[in-house]
Structure 1
Amino acid sequence: MTLNVLTFLFIGASFALYIGIAIWTRAGSTREFYIAGGGVSPMANGMATAADWMSAASFLSLAGVIAFMGRDGSAFLMGWTGGYVMLALLLAPYLRKFGKFTVPDFIGDRYDASLARGLALLCAILISFIYVAGQMRGVGIVFSRYLQVQIEWGVLIGMAIVFCYAVLGGMKGITYTQVAQYCVMICAFLVPALFLSLLMSGHLLPQLGLGAQLDDGRTVLQTLDEMLTELGFDPYTQGQRSTWDRFMLTLVLMCGTAGLPHIIVRFFTVPNVRDARESAGWALVFIALLYTSVPGVAAFGRINLIQTLNGPDQQGVAYEAMPDWFRTWEGAGLIAWHDHNGDGRVQYAAGSVADGGRPVFSGERGEMGERLLSNPSSGEFDPTRQPFASEIYIDHDILVLANPEIAMLPEWVVALVAAGAVAAALSTAAGLLLVISTSVSHDLMKRTLRPNMSDRQELRFARLSAVLALLLAGYFGINPPGFVAEVVALAFGLAAATVFPAIVLGIFCRRMNSAGAVSGMLVGLFSTLAYVIYFKFMGGQEAQWVLGVSPEAFGALAMVLNFATALVVMCLTPAPPESVQRLIDNVRIPRGTRWQ
């Protein structure tokens, strides 16, 4: 069978599986819609949590980020992984024991204030929507590449699939669909990873890849350092960020992911606290299978990419001699070439191929076959002048998707990666849409505006809000604002600066009151938004960074401001009611102990 037939077969079979599960698990009550009835087994919930956690960012982008950023990319690996450990050990069991399955519900009841609930509701929707807008764009890109349709049609197809199991099945449909998606996703990531590791290093396990020796006796890291230095890049093991900024980025990613609402709610789909802890352990095992493989996959992919584009003599390969995968991904817009010096060769080196580093495609190919437009201000190509030393634009997302084709692995492996990419793009989008739906129907309508409405009415509002959120997310997937790519990290910054401190203080500080929590959340919210908007969209310069912290990492400073503000205001205002303080003691201290 041809690659296209195999791809359609694998993706079609996965779609049939997801829709079949959605029909089988259709939610009939708000409890099933919100938390899958609370009867999911720990192992199945761990698998679903891993699928929810490992979004398109983990499956598609993480290896690419590490491959192209080198040491700096380690912040994402450590931050996202450490964030889950922090959530599983520090927050999830206590939240599960408290019994409120949404972040606004917990904050509203813990601080006994509608204002705190409303602010948490705003933050949860804002965080989730920023995140899901990027996911829907990822759905469109993946579908456009593998289903050979326009990105707009790709987004619409993804919306239809998500509608089937998220809107109809709610958390019940999402949970069991995500179990299937995890199985597809992990096979799609590990199978090519094992192939690559065996072909390049002789080791079967990609986890041993970075220190493995290649045929010339050098390790993978040594080879990459020398390759990149020769091409004008910084060494792979040398980052451009300062140690301080890298630490702050890691911290904001850890605390931000620990505060993401769509992950927190997963711990309420199991019967009790003990099962919540057990499911957290299972999820960590399932996540580690992918995350420990990422550094090896990133290094192998970057070496393969350089050798394919530049050839053994590092002088570039003639465009006519480039393999078919190059033209395929060129058509998808994830790789592009502009022949600056007119020699007909594809040359990859340090620097940006176009102004701003963004590809601009022409309707027709150039004289040498290139489709990328670039207009250097000098009018002439100078290989010693930045930023036009390179002739290649490479999107980071290409690495995992194109790895099997670059390494000339069997076509069924390419088709499997296609199915895995689709699963990754859909899994997190569904979880985020459910958070938005639950926030509107349960926290806004049921707990605030219409407390007397029936279970059936609440379920109707939940489905309606999920449909509206899906349509809005789909619109931004088809018509993304220019800043979507930059502000995806803002979701993590906002979660760290607003939700995370309120939850931590709500659990571990019995004296914390609503005035302190609300003040801290407002300071964290507005300081993060102001800092990111100024430096990302209003021309702020690196020399103006506060304490040398980049906009992506500022959420960590805003989190500190949140904690400090909350504690100061707490000391200046009355303590919460004694009933609330006893409730917190009951959540934190196990029953039957002498500390109870």
Structure 2
Amino acid sequence: MRRNPGFARQLRRYYGIYTLGFALFVVLLAIGESLGLSQQLIGHVFLFVTIAIYATIGVLSRTSDVTEYYVAGRRVPALFNGMATAADWMSAASFIGLAGTLYFSGFEGLAFVTGWTGGFVLVALLLAPYLRKFGQYTIPDFLGARYQGNVARLVGLAAAVLASFVYLVAQIYGVGLVTSRFVSVEFEIGLFIGLAGILVCSFLGGMRAVTWTQVAQYVILIIAYLVPVVILSYKLTGIPIPQAVYGTVLQQISAREDELLEAPTERAVRDLYSARARDYADKIAALPASLEDERRRMIDELNRMRLDSAPARDIALTERALRDLPRTPAEAREAWQRARAEALERARPPPRHAEAHPGATASESATARNNFLALMFVLMVGTAALPHILMRYYTTPGVMEARRSVLWSLFFIFLLYVTAPAYAVFAKWEVYNNLVGSNIAILPDWVASWGRVGLVRIEDLNGDGILQLAELRLNTDVIVLATPEIAGLPYVVSGLVAAGGLAAALSTADGLLLTISNALSHDLYYKVINPKASAHRRLVISKSQLLVVAVVAAWVASMRPDNILFMVGLAFSIGGSAFFPALVLGIFWKRANRPGAVAGMLAGLAVTVFYVVRTHPFFGGAMANAWFEINPISAGVFGVPLGFATIVAVSLLTKPPPQEIQDLVDYVRYPDIPGQSRPHL
């Protein structure tokens, strides 16, 4: 399909007007706040106006054409496909979680930045142009054609659904987090408010509606991300270019770290946490008797408090602690092991922000380095293999547009990723200088607000009424969302950040939902179950599957699984181990055949899932079971090489693919030749 310059100019004009309108909207809200507009109303306006914008685009983009629904008519210009891909890519993990990870991990968190950006180099060099030349609609489509039939298609479909579902749950969790905080509703209600916004964008128009909605969402999320950090940069350094000047603030943080880590009060609190960890270890060793002793002690304490007419609040807290006490030794062992692990974590000094691969010993430093490299590897291959990203390159007019689209994607993603380290440094400076050492009785309002959502915890362990660093526990996901409040910026900036976080989560959730529903309707129903289904029937099936998947994902997210960044990293491990070897060898090695691809995808996926279950506490595993001390988020570092080795070995031991499949590889890999046509399969 040829490029349409007139269409591209029209899009630039529309989205230019939209961007200016949104900027004016933010300015008007800022003026309204200065005139007395309430914070609650500002939060509601940001949330519902932005969702209304996305819904309007979704309704206007409705379609019943199969090509429009699945691949936006293959007419999305490279610039706008780059923006849509960036929005699809920069999920709640990037917007909400990345700066928080850099806040806590410092140098180690750069594995996410380098891995994710490096992955797009692999997309441009190894996958995007070739998949676009292949055409069709989904990644299982390519696997089914390249590896001859429905077995490879179904394995690919199962892996696509699993990776995308894990990723989707993280996005819906992020939606619930934002809406519950800024609209003051219960977390579960916030989930379904956001779910309505997701569905209205993707239900009626499929990829066509999702594409134009994601462009609009990118504009909001990048403005929302840059505005507070630019203001903070100007406030702290006098220069509104955070990416260039945050190094000076980092030097100040390093000096502050020296003070805090050596302060007697901080060391005393860490010693108290060490003692708590030893107490839990003793209790675990003494089970089941220790559980009965604990229950009797709490009953005696409660009776004493009643006799002494203790304050009602203290009695209520003790009663609640008694009710929450584990009922069986098995439950006690699990709960106390978690509590012991938390106490040990808080007993350790936090890593210095600028220290590479920190560790008390050479062995610990080597482990940190290995985990850094493993995570970077997994994120790179996962980026190059996630179906909801690769599907975007089916929407461009041609192969060259697909290549340009990857370049634009990388540019738009770079704007956020080059800013995230500055965000983390400025937030840490505010916390270390303006919060740590404060009187606990008069802490800022944001501490209580985010504490009610469960993302901030404070424990005055030494009872001195002063907040020590070790007594403060911030969730990774709170750093970006709370930084405007931490820095004392106008509330309109907080509302803007919430709108950006919501845009990031909604945009990725839209793409993931569409990937899952399209895989089920196109690859399972149309290609396997009912190849004679009409276009109308296929779209009905796709939309019904979209609704079902959305509701199930919201239900899983309501259980508040692990933090957003871990869940997203797990999706990358699953996607990379299942797809990357099969896709790369399918494009660049004619000898790869169906038995090899199926065996490789299954082997890579199986070892990745096995390793996560074996090592992550959420699934009952433990790091004691880890191989080479690699963290579960990087499980794909074992699955990807195994997938490559299995495909090569099994393919060489079995018959080569037929000539028409080898001709398809030539067709996909080489530039268009006059008179060349796609091989008939």
Which TM-score tier does this pair reach, normalised by the shorter chain?
0.7 to 0.9
Q: Does 1:259 align with 2:385?
A: yes
Tell me the equivalent position of 1:323: 444
Amino acid in structure 2 at the alignment position of 1:47:
M
Tell me the equivalent position of 1:337: 458
Q: Does 1:591 align with 2:672?
A: yes
Amino acid in structure 1 at the alignment position of 2:443:
M
Q: Does 1:454 align with 2:539?
A: no
Residue 414 of structure 1 deviates from its aligned partner by 1.6
Q: 2:179 aligns with which of 139, 143, 167?
A: 143
Residue 227 of structure 1 deviates from its aligned partner by 5.4
Amino acid in structure 1 at the alignment position of 2:352:
P
Tell me the equivalent position of 2:103: 67
Amino acid in structure 1 at the alignment position of 2:527:
R
Q: Does 1:582 align with 2:663?
A: yes
Q: 1:233 aligns with which of 350, 354, 357?
A: 350
Tell me the equivalent position of 2:648: 567
Contact kept? 2:253, 2:429, Cα under 8 Å: no
Contact kept? 1:228, 1:236, Cα under 8 Å: no
Between the aligned partners of 1:327 and 1:37, the Cα distance in structure 2 is: 49
Tell me the equivalent position of 2:51: 15
Between the aligned partners of 1:540 and 1:139, the Cα distance in structure 2 is: 28
Between the aligned partners of 1:533 and 1:581, the Cα distance in structure 2 is: 38
Deviation per CA, 1:269-316, whole angstroms, max 9, x where unpaired?
121111111221111111111110011111111111122221xxxxx2
SS in 2 for 1:422: helix
Between the aligned partners of 1:147 and 1:549, the Cα distance in structure 2 is: 40
Tell me the equivalent position of 1:371: none
Residue 443 of structure 1 deviates from its aligned partner by 0.3
Between the aligned partners of 1:484 and 1:285, the Cα distance in structure 2 is: 24
Between the aligned partners of 2:44 and 2:256, the Cα distance in structure 1 is: 36
Residue 517 of structure 1 deviates from its aligned partner by 0.7
Residue 485 of structure 1 deviates from its aligned partner by 7.6
Residue 139 of structure 1 deviates from its aligned partner by 0.9
Contact kept? 2:242, 2:422, Cα under 8 Å: yes
Q: 1:493 aligns with which of 549, 556, 573?
A: 573
Amino acid in structure 2 at the alignment position of 1:454:
S
Residue 28 of structure 1 deviates from its aligned partner by 1.7
Amino acid in structure 2 at the alignment position of 1:325:
W
Tell me the equivalent position of 1:372: none
Tell me the equivalent position of 2:27: none
TM-score (norm 1): 0.88
Between the aligned partners of 1:249 and 1:348, the Cα distance in structure 2 is: 28
Deviation per CA, 1:242-287, whole angstroms, max 9, x where unpaired?
2122111110111012111100011111211111112211111111
Residue 393 of structure 1 deviates from its aligned partner by 1.8
Between the aligned partners of 1:329 and 1:543, the Cα distance in structure 2 is: 33
SS in 2 for 1:209: helix
Tell me the equivalent position of 1:295: 421
SS in 2 for 1:336: strand
The residue correspondences of 1:86-485 to structure 2 (distance < 5 A) are 86-212=122-248, 214=249, 219-220=251-252, 222-223=254-255, 225-226=257-258, 229-230=261-262, 232-238=349-355, 239-240=357-358, 241-310=367-436, 316-349=437-470, 391-480=471-560
Distance 1:181-1:224 versus aligned 2 partners, 3 A rule: farther
Contact kept? 2:220, 2:500, Cα under 8 Å: yes
Residue 336 of structure 1 deviates from its aligned partner by 1.5
Between the aligned partners of 1:220 and 1:284, the Cα distance in structure 2 is: 32
Residue 224 of structure 1 deviates from its aligned partner by 5.9
Q: Which moved more, 1:137-146 or 1:198-207?
A: 198-207
Distance 1:42-1:519 versus aligned 2 partners, 3 A rule: same
Contact kept? 1:224, 1:299, Cα under 8 Å: no
Contact kept? 1:210, 1:220, Cα under 8 Å: no
Deviation per CA, 1:182-241, whole angstroms, max 9, x where unpaired?
1110000001111111212233211123423x5xxx835634653564453222223345
Between the aligned partners of 2:88 and 2:200, the Cα distance in structure 1 is: 17
Q: Which moved more, 1:235-244 or 1:510-519?
A: 235-244
Tell me the equivalent position of 1:383: none
Between the aligned partners of 1:475 and 1:547, the Cα distance in structure 2 is: 35
Residue 535 of structure 1 deviates from its aligned partner by 1.2
SS in 1 for 2:616: helix
TM-score (norm 2): 0.77
Residue 331 of structure 1 deviates from its aligned partner by 1.8
Amino acid in structure 1 at the alignment position of 2:368:
S
Distance 1:554-1:479 versus aligned 2 partners, 3 A rule: closer
SS in 2 for 1:149: coil
Contact kept? 2:95, 2:225, Cα under 8 Å: yes
Q: Which moved more, 1:327-336 or 1:428-437?
A: 327-336
Contact kept? 1:520, 1:564, Cα under 8 Å: yes
Tell me the equivalent position of 2:274: none
Between the aligned partners of 2:140 and 2:668, the Cα distance in structure 1 is: 18
Q: Does 1:545 align with 2:626?
A: yes
Q: Does 1:36 align with 2:72?
A: yes
Distance 1:522-1:60 versus aligned 2 partners, 3 A rule: same
Between the aligned partners of 2:455 and 2:90, the Cα distance in structure 1 is: 21
Q: 1:558 aligns with which of 615, 624, 639?
A: 639
5+ residue gaps, structure 2, are 1-36, 267-348, 359-366
Residue 431 of structure 1 deviates from its aligned partner by 0.7
Amino acid in structure 1 at the alignment position of 2:196:
A
Residue 451 of structure 1 deviates from its aligned partner by 0.2
Tell me the equivalent position of 2:85: 49
Between the aligned partners of 1:481 and 1:300, the Cα distance in structure 2 is: 28
Contact kept? 1:494, 1:555, Cα under 8 Å: yes
Between the aligned partners of 2:227 and 2:562, the Cα distance in structure 1 is: 35
SS in 2 for 1:211: helix
Contact kept? 2:518, 2:542, Cα under 8 Å: yes
Between the aligned partners of 1:343 and 1:293, the Cα distance in structure 2 is: 38
Residue 426 of structure 1 deviates from its aligned partner by 0.9
Contact kept? 1:210, 1:221, Cα under 8 Å: no
Between the aligned partners of 1:160 and 1:125, the Cα distance in structure 2 is: 21
Deviation per CA, 1:325-384, whole angstroms, max 9, x where unpaired?
2221122211021222222222222xxxxxxxxxxxxxxxxxxxxxxxxxxxxxxxxxxx
Between the aligned partners of 1:224 and 1:294, the Cα distance in structure 2 is: 21
Between the aligned partners of 2:67 and 2:79, the Cα distance in structure 1 is: 20
5+ residue gaps, structure 1, are 311-315, 350-390
Q: Could you say which structure has the higher helix fraction? A: 2
Contact kept? 1:497, 1:528, Cα under 8 Å: yes
Between the aligned partners of 1:416 and 1:483, the Cα distance in structure 2 is: 23
Structure exhibiting the larger radius of gyration computed from Cα positions = 2
Contact kept? 2:206, 2:514, Cα under 8 Å: yes
Contact kept? 1:54, 1:428, Cα under 8 Å: yes
Between the aligned partners of 2:252 and 2:563, the Cα distance in structure 1 is: 36
Q: Which moved more, 1:163-172 or 1:446-455?
A: 163-172
Amino acid in structure 2 at the alignment position of 1:395:
N
Between the aligned partners of 2:561 and 2:124, the Cα distance in structure 1 is: 34
Amino acid in structure 2 at the alignment position of 1:58:
S
